[in-house]
Amino acid sequence: MIHNMLFTGWGLMRWLRLGFGLYLAFHGWQDNDMMAGAFGAFFLFQAVTNTGCCGTSGCAVPENKSAKSATTQDVSFEEIK
């Protein structure tokens, strides 16, 4: 399972997170800047675990499957007194 998480699904955003995380972590270590190091660790964590702001594909809009199969039906109403 860990092998699948680390070596599959490498898209553009995952590569950007990895690069930005390495950049920030390196400069945080070089300049003794804890904030840059923390942000670097955060982006590295996101790249390794393939998560983003909302989790794995959490920000994606789900496909509307019910619109394809939905049919309209006439509804009859009965007045109650």
Give yes or no for a contact between 36 and 28, defined as CB atoms under 8 angstroms apart. yes
Q: pLDDT, tens digit, for every residue of 4-51?
A: 667 777 888 889 999 999 999 999 999 999 999 999 999 999 888 887
Give yes or no for a contact between 39 and 26, defined as CB atoms under 8 angstroms apart. no
What backbone torsions phi and psi does residue 54 show, to the nearest 5 degrees?
-120, 15
Rounded distance, CA 38 to CA 41, Å? 5
Pick the more confident residue, 81 or 34: 34
pLDDT at 81: 84
Give yes or no for a contact between 44 and 22, defined as CB atoms under 8 angstroms apart. yes
Domain borders along the chain are 2-54
Q: pLDDT, tens digit, for every residue of 41-71?
A: 999 998 888 877 665 555 655 555 665 555 6
Query: Within 13 Å of residue 35, how many CA atoms lie on the same side as its CB?
Result: 0
